[in-house]
Amino acid sequence: MQFTALLHHITLQLLAQSFYALRREGVVGMDGMSWREYEEIFSWR
């Protein structure tokens, strides 16, 4: 079986749940942004 499109499985609710499941005090990403900086920008709520 070949997967050709999985985007329809990704919802805003799933993205928000995944984001809030991350460790808030983890190290910054490759872009130098912390979890809290991402939260301010994307405002999942």
3-state secondary structure 2-44: CCCCCHHHCCHHHHHHHHHHCCCCCCCCCCCCCHHHHHHHHCC
At 43, the pLDDT band (50, 70, 90 cuts) reads confident
Quote the mean pLDDT of the chain.
86
How many structural domains does the chain have?
1
pLDDT at 21: 93
* Residue 33 confidence (pLDDT) above 70: yes
* Residue 29 confidence (pLDDT) above 60: yes
Q: How far apart are the first and last CA of the chain?
A: 37
pLDDT at 32: 92
Residue 13: domain span: 7-42
Distances (CA, A) of 14 to 2, 24, 26, 32, 37: 23, 18, 20, 24, 20
Is 1 domain-assigned?
no
pLDDT at 41: 86
Is 28 domain-assigned?
yes
